[in-house]
């Protein structure tokens, strides 16, 4: 059943994300054609500013969803209702905090923008971003009940459809009016629709949630607060590492660099969103796995997913290094490209972050939030210090390099250590050593693939979309041949193949 729900979630998540990502690229080309590059920079900057404000969420969602797994597995309706009531209360508090802090920051907008000339109604635009963030907390907590029951596809289907409609409406409005305010207004309105639909469905499917007005028992409440306290550090680290790059670029390099970076970020965010949808398909099943299975079984599944995520991120990383500048040149123009050195740092950060995903998935499934609670503080401090030091000499590459340095010196070793020692436990030292050996071997393979692919693309640069697609096909064939040669005889590959074959056979029967 876990495998079946995982595949259903995956099809809905990934299929919808691919459709929406295609629309987002069309929207970005229209955006660049009809609006100035300054608006592109503002869009990227304010998105990151609101990402920082969302620190007020403190990781409540992750901690609460973990708490829902066990009562959902046991179908304990009373306890589920208590937890959902607490979730609603905490998210309403977060909404108020985000609003107040967002308003308090408004007088200091000029500090974050080196050059805001050409941007009209700057404060109104900022307020619309704040309102969009605040309202996202009002009904979204109800989505978690479907995640706890491994049915996240119910919410995701509506979200993907509404995202597609939103993007189409924004494209039409930009072409017809060239008005950025209307563009944001559509975004603000459309975010409500999937949450309202899901809220109605939850009230109908789980009526006991409205019948209970109680909060969890004192002991469980304190346990949740403990997890939220630990997750708040992780949230802080994520906010500082992921949402300060645009601020530093705007302050030290200029708003134009934020606009150029936003094109790469559109590609990387699209892939990351796709991978988030893909990994989220496993979240409910892994939570169920961690709640009822032994650690030997958990580690076996971990090794399978570790291989799967490596292959996917390796494919994206080497391909992005070889082809991203060609793609941006074809879509947006050569003036929107970074140097090869900057792209190398960008995709390195993408790869090391991607290799963390499986460890983070299993950390959340096992509820291991407490053990590395101070790690994000060191990660954030190293990130800011390294970025501020390197930006003076290397510009954008220095800012991105600071993120790589902070990840390698903290998350790279600590997250697998925590998972092996406190989540897997049996022979954890040997398994941790195996993890680092695999990591080094895999990183070397990705580096060689990226260098070889970049070499032939540079020798024969893509002059049109047909040539670009040919490069992509050749790269894919090379990558597939290398991965098959390295992994086709491993037990993890055999188990993954067996799972997919079994599911397809059941569907056929």
**Residue indicated by tokens 């660049």:** 32
Task: Tell me the percentage of the chain whose pLDDT exceeds 70.
Answer: 80
Q: Which has more confidence, 180 or 59?
A: 180
Question: Measured between alpha carbons, how far is 146 from 282 in angstroms, rounded to an integer?
Answer: 13
Is the pLDDT at 317 greater than 80, yes or no? yes
C-alpha torsion sign, points 28, 34, 38, 39: negative
Average pLDDT over residues 189-199: 82
| Residue 469 in tokens | 């697609």
Is the pLDDT at 501 greater than 60, yes or no? yes
Average pLDDT over residues 163-178: 86
194 part of a folded domain: yes
Is the pLDDT at 428 greater than 80, yes or no? yes
Is the pLDDT at 137 greater than 60, yes or no? yes
Is the pLDDT at 445 greater than 90, yes or no? yes
CA 262 to each of CA 40, 265, 296: distance values in angstroms, whole numbers, following the listed order: 7, 5, 43
pLDDT of residue 444: 95
Average pLDDT over residues 58-68: 73
Question: Measured between alpha carbons, how far is 89 from 96 in angstroms, rounded to an integer?
Answer: 11
pLDDT of residue 451: 93
Is the pLDDT at 352 greater than 90, yes or no? yes
Is the pLDDT at 62 greater than 80, yes or no? no
CA 79 to each of CA 149, 199, 246, 352: distance values in angstroms, whole numbers, following the listed order: 14, 19, 42, 39
pLDDT of residue 441: 94
Of 38-47, 216-225, 331-340, 360-369, the range with the lowest mean pLDDT is 38-47
pLDDT of residue 165: 87
305 part of a folded domain: no
Average pLDDT over residues 328-341: 84
The overall average pLDDT reported for the chain is 80
Among residues 493, 402, 482, 484, the alpha carbon closest in space to that of 444 is found at 482
The count of other CB atoms within 10 Å of the CB of residue 505 is: 9
Average pLDDT over residues 258-285: 76
Question: Measured between alpha carbons, how far is 329 from 107 in angstroms, rounded to an integer?
Answer: 37
498 part of a folded domain: no
Q: Which has more confidence, 10 or 404?
A: 404
Q: Residue 261 CA to chain centroid, in angstroms? A: 17
Is the pLDDT at 481 greater than 90, yes or no? yes
Give the highest mean pLDDT range of 126-130, 204-208, 254-258, 433-437: 433-437
Q: Domain containing 248: what range?
A: 1-293+337-424
507 part of a folded domain: no
Residues whose CB is less than 8 angstroms from the CB of residue 465 and which lie 6 or more positions away in sequence, other chains included: 330
Q: Which has more confidence, 437 or 256?
A: 437
The count of other CB atoms within 10 Å of the CB of residue 127 is: 15
**Residue indicated by tokens 């997890």:** 227
373 part of a folded domain: yes
Is the pLDDT at 508 greater than 60, yes or no? no
Total number of domains constituting the chain: 1
23 part of a folded domain: yes
Of 59-68, 194-203, 463-472, 482-491, the range with the lowest mean pLDDT is 59-68
Question: Measured between alpha carbons, how far is 413 from 130 in angstroms, rounded to an integer?
Answer: 36
The per-residue pLDDT for range 113-126, each reduced to its tens digit, is 655 555 677 788 88
Asked whether the whole model's pTM tops 0.85, one would answer no
Is the pLDDT at 361 greater than 70, yes or no? yes
Alpha helix ranges (H) inside 121-254: 122-135, 143-148, 153-177, 180-190, 192-205, 208-211, 218-243, 245-248
Of 226-230, 373-377, 485-489, the range with the lowest mean pLDDT is 226-230
Task: Tell me the percentage of the chain whose pLDDT exceeds 90.
Answer: 17
Do residues 17 and 263 lie in contact, with contact meaning Cβ atoms separated by under 8 Å?
no
User: Taking phi first (over 0 means left), then psi (-120 to 50 degrees means alpha), and beta for anything else, what does residue 427 get?
Assistant: left
The per-residue pLDDT for range 280-311, each reduced to its tens digit, is 667 656 666 655 666 777 788 888 889 999 99
Long-range contacts of 272-279 (CB under 8 A, 24+ apart): 272/350, 273/17, 273/21, 274/14, 274/17, 274/18, 274/21, 275/312, 275/313, 275/354, 275/357, 277/10, 277/13, 277/14, 277/16, 277/17, 277/156, 278/10, 278/13, 278/14, 278/312, 279/309, 279/357, 279/361
266 part of a folded domain: yes
Q: Which has more confidence, 413 or 253?
A: 413
Question: Measured between alpha carbons, how far is 288 from 1 in angstroms, rounded to an integer?
Answer: 11
Q: Which has more confidence, 390 or 76?
A: 390
446 part of a folded domain: no
Q: Which has more confidence, 321 or 147?
A: 321
pLDDT of residue 14: 58
Of 162-171, 347-356, 470-479, 490-499, the range with the lowest mean pLDDT is 490-499
Of 243-247, 342-346, 375-379, 389-393, the range with the lowest mean pLDDT is 243-247
């Amino acid at each position: 059943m876990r495998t079946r729900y995982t595949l259903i979630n995956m099809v809905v998540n990934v299929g919808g994300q691919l459709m929406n990502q295609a629309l987002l690229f069309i929207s970005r080309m229209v955006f660049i054609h009809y609006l100035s590059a300054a608006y592109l920079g503002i869009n990227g900057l304010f998105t990151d500013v609101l990402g920082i404000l969302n620190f007020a969420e403190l990781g409540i969602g992750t901690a609460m969803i973990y708490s829902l797994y066990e009562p959902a597995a046991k179908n304990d309706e009373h306890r589920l209702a208590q937890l959902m009531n607490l979730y609603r209360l905490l998210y309403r508090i977060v909404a108020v905090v985000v609003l107040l802090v967002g308003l308090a920051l408004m007088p200091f907008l000029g500090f974050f923008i080196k050059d805001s000339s050409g941007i009209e109604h700057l404060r109104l635009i900022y307020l619309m971003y704040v309102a969009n963030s605040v309202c996202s907390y009002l009904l979204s907590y109800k989505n978690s009940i479907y995640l706890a029951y491994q049915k996240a596809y119910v919410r995701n289907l509506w979200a993907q459809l509404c995202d597609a409609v939103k993007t189409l409406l924004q494209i039409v409005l930009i072409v017809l009016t060239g008005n950025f305010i209307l563009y944001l207004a559509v975004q603000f309105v459309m975010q409500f629709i999937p949450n309202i639909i899901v809220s109605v469905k939850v009230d109908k499917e789980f009526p006991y949630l409205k019948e209970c007005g109680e909060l969890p028992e004192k002991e469980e409440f304190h346990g949740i607060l403990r997890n939220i306290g630990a997750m708040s550090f992780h949230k802080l680290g994520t906010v500082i590492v992921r949402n300060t790059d645009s601020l530093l670029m705007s302050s030290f390099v200029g708003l134009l660099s934020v606009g150029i970076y936003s094109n790469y970020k559109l590609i990387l965010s699209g892939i990351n969103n796709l991978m988030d949808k893909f990994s989220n398909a496993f979240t409910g099943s892994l939570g169920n796995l961690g709640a009822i299975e032994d650690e030997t079984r958990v580690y076996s599944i971990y090794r399978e997913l570790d291989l799967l995520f490596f292959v996917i991120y390796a494919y994206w990383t080497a391909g992005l290094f070889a082809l991203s500048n060609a793609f941006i040149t074809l879509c947006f123009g050569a003036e929107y490209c970074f140097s090869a050195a900057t792209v190398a740092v960008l995709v390195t950060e993408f790869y090391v972050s991607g290799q963390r995903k499986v460890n983070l998935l299993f950390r959340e499934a096992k509820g291991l939030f407490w053990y590395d609670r101070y790690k994000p503080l060191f990660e954030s401090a190293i990130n800011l210090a390294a970025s501020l030091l390197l930006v003076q000499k290397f510009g954008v590459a220095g800012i991105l390099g600071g993120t790589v340095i902070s990840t390698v010196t903290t998350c790279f070793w600590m997250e697998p250590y925590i998972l092996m020692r406190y989540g897997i436990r049996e022979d954890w030292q040997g398994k941790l050593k195996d993890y680092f050996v695999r990591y080094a071997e895999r990183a070397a393979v990705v580096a060689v693939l990226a260098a070889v692919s970049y070499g032939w693309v540079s020798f024969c640069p893509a002059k049109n979309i047909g040539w670009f697609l040919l490069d992509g096909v050749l790269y894919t064939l090379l990558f597939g041949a290398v991965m098959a040669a390295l992994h086709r005889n491993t037990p993890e590959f055999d188990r993954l193949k067996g799972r997919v074959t079994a599911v397809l056979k059941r569907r056929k029967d």
